Amino acid sequence: MSTPSIFIDGETGTTGLGIRERLAGLPVALRSLPEALRKDAAARRALMAEVDVVVLCLPDAAAKESVALADELGQRAPRIVDASTAHRVAAGWVYGFAEMAPGQARAIAQARRVANPGCYPSGAIALLRPLVDAGLMAPDHPVTVNAVSGYSGGGKALIAAHEATGGPAFNLYGLALEHKHVPELQQNARLTRRPIFVPSVAHIRQGMIVSVPLHLDTLPGRPTAADLEDCLRHHYAGAELVGVAPGNADLDIAELVDTDRMILRVHGNEKQRQAVLTASLDNLGKGASGAAVQSIALMLGLVAYAHLGEAADA
């Protein structure tokens, strides 16, 4: 059997570099174009015809153009993992969050086209989808998602600004409530009511905390915080990269930096009948490059490198 080959279209960006680094540990062959040809459509299309998987680490418009190039190849078209926002709610694309639901890892393995999840939605969906599926949260529940990320997820301009000037220390943004991650968050968490999403950036290169505050008496059956934690533990039982830890502790945004893991917690106060759900992850790991490589491993049948544990298709 020949070694699977991969072309990263946009390999010099933050996500592309992270994927290259992680793929070094897999039995795959990386193909590249000379720098002078990286924007040459004919050269890109020719290389696409020679590889098994193309990974798109591009702005949305450029990602759509690359997909169009692949479409021109017909039966010779490679399988695609798109790390942009362009296809996350598009028909015909499988969402690349393997632990999200039973059967998701299998769907990724069989898919021709996989949309890599956004960093913020990864944490929110990980917290919310199990509760909705278990009936502990109504699909039309008025959900608010707050999140803080390291600046490395904001693109070259934001990275340069932070590394050149040292700030700002904290920046709340997206207050027009039209953040591009909301559609995938809503669709994959199975919410029928559009959630409020409030993102922010801290002056730290990597790391992320996503939080969801809840009034427990507004949930079906009036569950306790322990009930919510039990639901999450059951859903992710055996998963290698997504785990559940005890709540009611201070959180360090950098606790999972340089890993592909995600840790979920339920911080509850039964006296006040309130809880805050949190997801900690590296915005460049499980929130970007790590998730993409997990999907690539599944698509190429390299299951030992997908780190699924027992929860893959339970």
Tokens linked to 136: 């502990």
**What are the two backbone dihedrals, phi and then psi, of residue 93, each rounded to the nearest 5 degrees?**
-110, 135
Q: How far is CA 183 from CA 104, 107, 188, in A?
A: 19, 20, 9
| Residues sharing a CB contact under 8 Å with residue 131, sequence separation 6 or more, in sequence order | 137, 228, 231, 232
Question: What are 141's two structure tokens?
Answer: 């529940």
Cα 18 to its chain centre, rounded Å, is 14
Q: Which residues contact 267 (CB under 8 A, 6 or more apart)?
A: 225, 247, 248, 249, 275, 276, 277, 278
* Rounded Cα–Cα distance for residues 81 and 294 (Å): 11
The verdict on whether 231 is a catalytic residue reads no
Alpha-carbon distance 259 to 116, whole Å? 17
Assess contact for 126 and 101: CB atoms under 8 A: no
Given the residues 57, 115, 119, 126, the one annotated as active site? 119
The C-alpha atoms of residue 282 and residue 259 are separated, in whole angstroms, by 7
Number of CB atoms found within 10 A of residue 108's CB: 24
Among all residues, which ones are annotated catalytic?
119
